[in-house]
């Protein structure tokens, strides 16, 4: 009896660091998408809860100044970011471009939609680190 090896081309294995980055991004983008979608769809109810003192955290007034359209747009950007990570998980280069565009637009959106929005240096640094780390794996993607 002859044993044949599987001659199908093997898909390039995803590096462990890329897997970890993708998992972290799945969590961040997924949670962001759900939270922003909730705030966008339930904006009036959340606004009432804030006015009644049932829901508060520092800076909530600044976020609420963008209205429900800000949150719905943010949710869409998180969805695009999530899709980009999914493509990178599958080793597709288009994912890097989707992810990067969505992340950059998420950094710009608050300046366009919110009043008195402070510059989020930590967000800029974290986003830059993730983009640069993903960029390292771009040559491996097809």
Where does the pLDDT of residue 83 fall: very low under 50, low under 70, confident under 90, or very high at 90 and above? very high
The CA–CA distances, whole Å, from 60 to 55, 56, 115 equal: 9, 7, 12
The predicted pLDDT at position 53 comes to: 85
- The pLDDT tens digits of the residues spanning 38-60 come to 999 999 999 999 888 888 788 88
Chain centroid offset of residue 116 CA? 23
Residue 55 near residue 94 (C-beta atoms within 8 A): no
Comparing C-alpha atoms, which of 87, 85, 74 is closest to residue 23? 85
Would you kindly state where each structural domain of the chain is located, as residue ranges?
A: 16-140
How do residues 94-132 score in pLDDT, each as one tens digit?
A: 999 999 999 999 999 999 999 889 989 999 999 999 999
**How far apart (Å, rounded) are the C-alpha atoms in residues 114 and 110?**
5
- For 23-32, the pLDDT digits (tens) are 999 999 999 9
């Amino acid at each position: 009896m002859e044993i044949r090896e599987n001659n199908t081309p093997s898909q390039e294995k995803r590096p462990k660091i890329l897997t970890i980055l993708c998992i972290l991004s799945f969590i961040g983008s997924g949670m962001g998408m759900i939270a922003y979608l909730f705030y966008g769809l339930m904006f009036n109810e959340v606004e009432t809860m804030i006015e009644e003192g049932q829901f508060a955290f520092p800076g909530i007034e600044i976020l609420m100044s963008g209205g429900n359209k800000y949150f719905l747009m943010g949710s869409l950007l998180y969805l695009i970011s999530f899709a980009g990570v999914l493509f990178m998980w599958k080793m597709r280069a288009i994912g890097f471009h989707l992810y990067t565009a969505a992340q950059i637009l998420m950094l710009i959106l608050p300046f366009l939609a919110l009043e008195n929005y402070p510059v989020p240096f930590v967000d800029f640094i974290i986003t830059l680190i993730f983009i640069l780390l993903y960029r390292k794996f771009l040559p491996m993607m097809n």
